[in-house]
Chains A and B, each alone.
Chain A
Amino acid sequence: KAGVTQTPRYLIKTRGQQVTLSCSPISGHRSVSWYQQTPGQGLQFLFEYFSETQRNKGNFPGRFSGRQFSNSRSEMNVSTLELGDSALYLCASSLVPRQETQYFGPGTRLLVL
């Protein structure tokens, strides 16, 4: 069974631009969560989607948004990029929300210059 896939793997943007990241969950998994990981803050929760609906949202500004499609694939968007948005963005999938085991993708490394 294929794991969680994320595209692109690496991205370089400049301040003020916007970016869209994509996540395809494990087949049959319907819940997708997004995390931002930085050396100083560790893993921070961004949002969770299930059945195309956002269920939870972390303490991030409105520049961070996401959506989920009917096939459970999810995208997150960051508008008006700031230098501090440079991070590893991780997507994790599970069968349903609050289902214990989340499986992570390889991440998208975003560098904002």
Chain B
Amino acid sequence: EDQVTQSPEALRLQEGESSSLNCSYTVSGLRGLFWYRQDPGKGPEFLFTLYSAGEEKEKERLKATLTKKESFLHITAPKPEDSATYLCAVLGANYGGSQGNLIFGKGTKLSVKP
């Protein structure tokens, strides 16, 4: 069964302290890996899609990378407004069925203190 595991569950950083979030996945035929940001009480906001190992994408202080087994979301010099829960999801070749098209991890809750 396709599976996504995110670590750590929670991460506290000081403003300016760079770090990385991990997303490990097991999927039959990866068609895409997605990162979302979710603020409390709101819907997930799309950040990146990665399709193949070695691919990297950047947006402001965020950089997402992908290997054959995991993805990292690197946060460089974070600011308090980067505080949110970051969700990872995968789309596999065997999509659909009772799991739906996207398999989500449980997320990493990031807190950035000034």
Show the binding face of A for B, using Cβ within 8 Å.
4, 6, 33, 35, 42-43, 45, 48, 55-59, 88, 90, 92, 97-98, 100-107, 109
Contact = CB atoms under 8 A, between A and B. Distances in A.
B104 A56 contact: no
B102 A102 contact: yes
B4 to A, nearest CB: 10
A42 B46 contact: no
B96 A100 contact: no
Interface in B34-55: 34, 36, 41-46, 49
Contact of B98 (A59, A104, A106): A59
A45 B99 contact: yes
Nearest to B33: A100
B100 A100 contact: no
What size tier do the contact residues of chain B reach? Answer: 20 to 34
Given A48-B100, A58-B98, A100 B44 contact: no
A109 B42 CA distance: 9
Contacts, number: 68
Contact of A100 (B34, B42, B43): B34
B44 A90 contact: yes
A44 B106 CA distance: 10
A90 B43 contact: yes
B95 A101 contact: no
Given A4-B43, A33-B101, A106-B43, A98 B106 contact: no
Residue in B44, B46, B98 with the greatest tally of chain A CB atoms within 10 Å: B44
A43 B44 CA distance: 10
17 contacts: A35-B100, A43-B87, A45-B99, A45-B100, A55-B96, A56-B100, A57-B98, A58-B99, A98-B91, A98-B95, A100-B91, A101-B49, A102-B46, A104-B43, A104-B45, A106-B43, A107-B42
Residue in A59, A102, A105, A109 with the greatest tally of chain B CB atoms within 10 Å: A102
A40 B41 CA distance: 15
B5 to A, nearest CB: 11
